[in-house]
Amino acid sequence: MYRTVVNRILLSGGSRRLPKYPDIRTVISSSRFSTTTQPQTVLNPSGSSTSSSSSTNFQTSSAAGDVPRHERNNPRAEYEGEQARVLQASLRHVIRLGWSEEAMIAGAKEVGISPSIVGSFPRKEAALVEFFMDDCLQRLIDRIDSGEELQNLTPSQRIYKLVRIRLEMQAPYISKWSQALSIQAHPLNVSTSFKQRAMLIDEIWHAAGDETYDLDWYVKRTVLGGIYSTTEIYMLTDSSPEFRDTWLFLDNRVKDAFDLKKTIQEAKYLAEAVGAGMGSSLQVFVGRVLQR
Amino acid sequence: MALRLLTRNLRNRISPNLCSASLLHSHATSFGFKEVREEEKSQMVGKVFSNVASNYDLMNDFMSAGLHRLWKDRLVSKLTPFPGMKHLDVAGGTGDVAFRILESINSIRRRALQDPINDDLQEETRIYVCDINQNMLNVGKNRALERGLGEDKSLVWVQGDAEALSFEDNSMDGYTIAFGIRNVTHIEKVLTEAYRVLKRGGRFLCLELSHVEIPVFKELYDLYSFSVIPRLGEVVAGDRESYQYLVESIRRFPPQEKFASMIADAGFQKVEYENLVGGVVAIHSGLKI
């Protein structure tokens, strides 16, 4: 688990690395005063500098050529690494125990760390759900990057495929997913879950080949957000084998959205044509009236 | 080393009110605003607490207008206790924090009654209450009896010194010290001991009276501390000196940021603090990894 965390930081680079949930009110991390590690910048609460500072540390530590394992040289990443390990292990208990402290306690015990660490997560169950969402997004990005599957598809087919891949990651947890949704809807957690979903939607559109930068961007995100959320909720009550009904539902929604786009286009042309026609006859009429 | 000698020399010339908290490193230490020798400090603190033990809880209620209960509730909720936990509450003499933790664990257990694993774990829960002062421990044991926890083998009362704990390395899931760290002679030793006894993943939590920086409120608080509290001590507990010591020791204790850096020096990670009532009280927390 260390290795995968380390690999992601090293290999995926700044733009693709997801910012972690930031530490509010953290004053100090230990390595500032430790003699064995490289000197570090003062902790910055923003997520992106977390990843950049830890990646510079990896570079300096490998330059110094000290220790083969990068984690040992960077105690600041260590506690976050440990927290990530605990959360990863906790996911295996979610099916039985739900998205709860009990699952996190069981996860901590599995990893061999005192369950007291659960108290250090600012919003406990929400931390677990958010970790899962980040993890799924990262896996989706990996699949997109390894990307043969999307080559020959039209945008609407790509969107269908991507949303399906993402929702299938939730399938094992579907029995407890409504609990996760309610945790995400909690006022304290809404802003983080909204941000995560926004990133997810953005990623999917990006992979589907969207290059627009105007007002259309918001419309597209909103529409896809709607498709994703409704399909997610439909999946909660779907008992068909391998969620066949859900995929059918998704397919129909995607088609509707693309048809809607064409319909709006056509409606616009029609309105213009009518307007042009009306405008010229109106001019003639007004002319006649004034001439009298 | 040279720095220590230098500060010691300087300290003799500078008046006590200007001494910074780093001077607590030297061989003389502070007892309120007085300078005393280290060996004497623990004796003097011992006397203070022997005197106040019987009225300790009553005076707490008076001085904080009952708020200390909420502060302790907040401390325990930050701890997130779980069944099977081994917890150490240092300087917890009269047992307030320990009782809260025990009740929190018992209520979790009642909720999860259907899970057989938890029942076995519940048997393993141990909350050690450690205090250097036997009088305070006795008061605590009596209170436990009153609350019906006298037979509960989860509560263990131990007399001991926070700077030299009798517990093994890596044996505790949690460590709390509520309103106690102000009174020790060597803060760093206590922090080092705390680090030693905690397991990996264990948390250190410290509830302590701290520094207020908010402009007007600070003056009001100072007024309240130096005028009202010793008087209250005199009237209610018949002991003005001890309460004078109390308010002075609050002022001499390092401010929030400095204390947080001391905790980090001891090896803890993710060191944070939360101010309650604008800084009158602060809860510092650290994680051992």
Closest CB from A25, A30, A118 relative to B269: A30
Mean pLDDT lowest for which of A97-111, A120-134, A138-152, A209-223? A209-223
Q: Looking at residue B14, what is its pLDDT?
A: 47
d(CA A247, CA A158): 13
Q: Which stretches in chain B have pLDDT values below 70? A: 1-27, 108-122
Mean pLDDT lowest for which of A61-65, A77-81, A248-252? A61-65
d(CA B284, CA B268): 11
Greater confidence, B174 or A259?
B174
- Report yes or no: B267 at the A interface, CB cutoff 8 Å: yes
Measure A42 CA to nearest chain B CA, in Å.
12
Residues forming beta bridges with residue B156, ordered by sequence position: B128
Measure A91 CA to nearest chain B CA, in Å.
18
- Report yes or no: A4 at the B interface, CB cutoff 8 Å: no
Measure B259 CA to nearest chain A CA, in Å.
11
Cβ contacts of A23 on chain B, cutoff 8 Å? 270, 272
Q: Looking at residue A191, what is its pLDDT?
A: 94
Measure B53 CA to nearest chain A CA, in Å.
31
CATH code: domain of residue B179: 3.40.50.150
Question: How many angstroms separate the Cα of B260 from the Cα of each of A112, A217, B191, B256, B284?
Answer: 27, 46, 11, 6, 7
Question: How many angstroms separate the Cα of B42 from the Cα of each of B36, B94, B162, B231, B286?
Answer: 10, 19, 11, 25, 26
Q: Binning pLDDT at 50, 70 and 90, where does residue A274 land?
A: confident
Half-sphere exposure of B164 (CA within 13 A, CB side): 1
Q: Looking at residue A86, what is its pLDDT?
A: 92
Domain containing B89 equals 53-211+253-287
pLDDT tens-digit map of A89-98? 999 999 999 9
Q: Quick check: is B137 in a domain?
A: yes
Q: Which of A23, A25, A26, A30 to mutate to test the interface with B (most CBs of B within 10 A)?
A: A30
- Report yes or no: B188 at the A interface, CB cutoff 8 Å: no
Which of the 8 DSSP states describes residue B17? G
Tell me the residues of chain A between 113 and 142 that have a Cβ less than 8 Å away from chain B. Answer: 113-120, 124
Q: Looking at residue A230, what is its pLDDT?
A: 92
d(CA B188, CA B163): 9
Contact B289 A101 (CB under 8 A): no
Q: Looking at residue A19, what is its pLDDT?
A: 45
Q: B26: part of which helix (H) or strand (E)?
A: none
Cβ contacts of B272 on chain A, cutoff 8 Å? 23, 25-27
Q: Quick check: is B92 in a domain?
A: yes
Residue A166 has pLDDT above 90, yes or no: yes
d(CA A254, CA A118): 41
Q: Looking at residue A220, what is its pLDDT?
A: 82
Contact A30 B264 (CB under 8 A): yes
Contact B285 A120 (CB under 8 A): yes
Question: How many angstroms separate the Cα of A196 from the Cα of each of A136, A145, A179, A206, A263?
Answer: 11, 19, 17, 15, 31
Number of domains present in the structure of chain B: 1
Q: Which residue in chain B has the smallest CA separation from A86?
A: B201
pLDDT tens-digit map of A180-192? 999 999 999 999 9
Q: Quick check: is B20 in a domain?
A: no
Greater confidence, A71 or B42?
B42
Greater confidence, A40 or A167?
A167
pLDDT tens-digit map of A12-61? 443 444 444 443 344 444 333 333 333 333 333 333 333 333 333 333 33
Q: Quick check: is B41 in a domain?
A: no
Size of interface A-B (CB pairs under 8 A): 89
Q: Quick check: is B123 in a domain?
A: yes
Average of per-residue pLDDT across A139-160:
83
Mean pLDDT lowest for which of A112-116, A118-122, B245-249, B258-262? B245-249
Average of per-residue pLDDT across A222-250:
91
Residue A234 has pLDDT above 90, yes or no: yes
Q: Looking at residue A185, what is its pLDDT?
A: 93
Cα–Cα–Cα angle for A9, A12, A15, rounded to 5 degrees: 100
Query: What's at A99, amino acid-wise?
Result: W
Q: Which of A25, A27, A37 to mutate to test the interface with B (most CBs of B within 10 A)?
A: A27
Alpha helices in B153-279 (DSSP H): 187-197, 215-223, 229-232, 240-252, 256-265
**Does ipTM exceed 0.90?**
no
Total-model pTM: 0.73
Greater confidence, A259 or A177?
A177
Q: Quick check: is B260 in a domain?
A: yes
Q: Quick check: is B205 in a domain?
A: yes
Per the prediction, chain A carries an average pLDDT of 75
Q: Looking at residue A211, what is its pLDDT?
A: 63
Q: Which residue in chain B has the smallest CA separation from A81?
A: B289
Closest CB from A32, A78, A116 relative to B203: A116
Measure B45 CA to nearest chain A CA, in Å.
31
Q: Quick check: is B244 in a domain?
A: no
Cβ contacts of B268 on chain A, cutoff 8 Å? 30
Q: Binning pLDDT at 50, 70 and 90, where does residue A221 land?
A: confident
Is B29 annotated in a binding site? The answer is no
